[in-house]
Amino acid sequence: MDEKDFLKLLIDTIRVEDYADKDKLIALLKLTVIRFEKTGEFTRHLWNHSKEYIQICIAPERLIELKKHKEYLYKICDEIYPANDDYEFWGLEIKPGAVIEAEEISQEIVFENIRNQIIEEIRNAKYVIWIVMAWFTDPVLFSELQKKKRQGVTIEIILDENEKNRNAGFDIAGEFPTHWMTIESYYKNIMHEKFCVIDLQTAVHGTFNWTKAASYNKEHISIDHNRATSEAFADEFMRLKREDVLSF
């Protein structure tokens, strides 16, 4: 287990603990860097094991605040420290270190109950939703977008130009700015991308079309709370938006 994995495990463990200030502590830990300080000093406890200290480094202005939780952090670190043949956990040090941006980065792969997961992400939107979809015929997802529009969220959609989308049973182009993509080549092709960008912070992408039938298929999506990933999909949205017709 490396330092990043240890920090993630530390946060995940505290998240399910019954600790009064766990929300404040988790927010602080997201600003930290973990370092393993291995020594050559034997513990004289387990055979041939050396002492290892865990350092939690945080910006100096947050140091005192984090040190208030040191006793509790020591207990959790001792519980989750990975057993090995060389080192023992011997102490916790909270030290000043570099400032880390407080960004929640996570990825969740979803195989079941996909539509409800998408609805949850839509409901969390605050500013903007950009959608690129090969097929969009699901009235439930359409209704969720209407609700976000009434809350002031900006919504824009790119769809493949096909009969199913044009006859979805609701007027998507009348409700939201909609760009219809036509793929021109020697063969009959479609715009087959399927993703959604929310607030430039979340990207939802995978095999799942926004159709009623998709909920009964074997599909998957990835929900990435990651600005870099979201911006990559946002760049693709803008590229498609600039090109009403793609020529091959």
**In contact, 152 and 175? CB cutoff 8 Å:** no
Q: Identify which of 27, 199, 12 has the alpha carbon closest to the alpha carbon of residue 103.
A: 27
Structure tokens at 87: 């080192």
Give residue 64's pLDDT.
Answer: 95
pLDDT tens per residue, range 151-183: 999 999 999 988 898 999 999 999 999 999 876
Give 202's contacts (C-beta < 8 A, 6+ positions apart).
121, 124, 223, 224, 225, 230
Pick the CATH number of 106-247 from 3.30.870.10, 3.40.50.2000, 3.10.450.50, 3.30.70.260: 3.30.870.10
The secondary structure of residue 216, as a DSSP letter, is G
Is domain 3-96 annotated with CATH 3.30.300?
Answer: yes
Per-position pLDDT tens, the chain of length 248: 899 899 999 999 999 999 999 999 998 998 899 999 999 999 988 899 999 999 999 999 899 999 999 999 999 999 999 989 999 999 999 999 865 555 555 777 888 889 999 999 999 999 999 999 999 999 999 999 999 999 999 999 999 988 898 999 999 999 999 999 876 544 455 668 899 999 999 999 999 999 988 877 788 899 998 888 899 999 999 988 887 544 33
Give 93's contacts (C-beta < 8 A, 6+ positions apart).
37, 53, 54, 55, 56
Q: CA 45, 51, 52, 54 torsion: positive or negative?
A: positive
Q: Where are the domains of the chain?
A: 3-96, 106-247
